[in-house]
Structure 1
Amino acid sequence: MSTGGQKPLPFIANFAAGAIAGISEILTFYPLDVVKTRMQLERGKAQYGLVGSFRAIIAQEGFGRLYRGLVPPLLLEAPKRAVKFAANDFWGKTYLGMAGQTKMTQELSILTGCSAGATESFVVVPFELVKIKLQDKSSTYAGPMAVVKHIIKKDGLLGLYAGMESTFWRHVWWNGGYFGSIHQVRALLPKAETPQATLFNNFVSGSIGGFVGTVLNTPFDVVKSRIQGAEKIPGVIPKYNWTYPALVTILREEGAMALYKGFVPKVLRLAPGGGVLLLVVEFTLTVFRKALGPPYL
Structure 2
Amino acid sequence: MAQPNAEPAEDYDYESLPPNFSLIQNMAAGAFAGIAEHCAMYPIDAIKTRMQILNPNPGAVYNGVIQGTFNIARTEGVLSLWRGMSSVIVGAGPAHAVYFATYEAVKHVMGGNQAGVHHPLAAATSGACATIASDALMNPFDVIKQRMQIQNSAKIYRSLFDCAKYVYKNEGLGAFYVSYPTTLSMTVPFTALQFLAYESISTSMNPTKGYDPLTHCVAGAVGGGFAAALTTPMDVIKTMLQTRGNAQDPELRRVNGFMAGCRLLYKREGARGFFKGVKPRVLTTMPSTAICWSAYEASKAYFIRQNDSSASQSP
> Are the structure 2 counterparts of residues 296 and 43 from structure 1 closer, same or farther at C-alpha, using a change threshold of 3 Å?
farther
Question: For residues 252 and 68 of structure 2, what CA distance do their matches in structure 1 show?
Answer: 31
Alpha-carbon contact 2:35-2:93 (below 8 Å) kept: yes
Matched, 1:91 2:106: yes
1:39 aligns with 2:65: no
The Cα offsets for residues 230-284 of structure 1, whole Å up to 9 and x where unpaired, read as 1289x97845322244234423431222112112122111111111111111111
Q: What are the ranges of 5 or more consecutive residues in structure 1 without an aligned counterpart? A: none
1:215 maps to 2:229:
yes
User: Structure 2 vs 1, CA of residues 191 and 149 (structure 1 numbering), >3 Å: closer, same or farther?
Assistant: same
DSSP 3-state at the match of 1:213? helix
Q: Which of 185, 201, 212 is equivalent to 1:185?
A: 201
Q: Percent identical across equivalent pairs?
A: 24
Cα distance in 2 for partners of 1:265, 1:115 equals 27
Contact 2:14–2:304, Cα closer than 8 Å, also in 1: no
2:238 alignment partner in structure 1: 224
The amino acid across from 1:108 in the alignment is A
Match of 1:144 among 136, 160, 163: 160
For 1:296 and 1:200, the matched residues in 2 are separated by 28
Q: CA RMSD in A?
A: 3.0
- Residue 106 (structure 1) aligned with residue 123 (structure 2): no
Secondary structure in 1 matching 2:21? coil
The equivalent position to 2:39 in structure 1, one of 22, 27, 30, is 27
Whole-Å separation in 2 of the counterparts to 1:63 and 1:245: 35
Letter in 2 for 1:145: F
What are the superposed Cα offsets for residues 130-163 of structure 1, whole Å, 9 maximum, x if unpaired?
Answer: 1111111142211211111112222333433231
1:61 paired to 2:76: yes
The separation in 2 between residues aligned to 1:104 and 1:121, in whole angstroms, is: 27
Deviations 1:50-109 (A, max 9, x none): 211111101111101100111101111211221221111122123339xxxx95511221
Matched, 1:287 2:302: yes
Matched position secondary structure for 1:150: helix
Moved more, 157-166 or 23-32: 157-166
- In the superposition, the TM-score normalised over structure 2's length comes to 0.82
| TM-score, normalised relative to structure 1 | 0.87
C-alpha contact (below 8 Å) 1:125/1:162 kept by paired residues: no
Indicate yes or no: 2:23 matched with 1:11.
Answer: yes
What does the per-residue CA deviation read over 1:154-185, in whole Å, with 9 as the maximum and x for residues that have no partner? 23334332312112222212211111111111
Q: Which has the larger radius of gyration?
A: 2
Cα 1:19–1:185, aligned 2, differ >3 Å: closer, same or farther? same
Q: Distance in 2 between matches of 1:58 and 1:240?
A: 31
User: 1:296 and 1:106, CA in 2 relative to 1: closer, same or farther beyond 3 A?
Assistant: farther
Cα distance between partner residues in 2 of 1:94 and 1:192: 20
Where does 1:255-270 land on structure 2 (aligned, <5 Å)?
A: 255-270=270-285
Cα deviation, residue 29, structure 1? 0.9
C-alpha distance in structure 2 between counterparts of 1:52 and 1:174, whole Å:
28
Q: Is the 8 A contact 2:20 2:307 kept in 1?
A: no
Preserved CA contact (<8 Å) 2:54 2:240? no
Work out whether residues 17 and 108 of structure 2, in 8 Å CA contact, stay in contact via their aligned partners in 1. Answer: no
SS of 2:151's partner is coil
- Greater shift in the superposed pair: 186-195 or 285-294: 186-195
Deviation at 1:194, TM superposition (A): 8.9
Deviation at 1:201, TM superposition (A): 0.6
Point out where structure 2 has 5 or more consecutive residues left out of the alignment: 1-12
In structure 2, what residue type is equivalent to 1:210? Answer: G
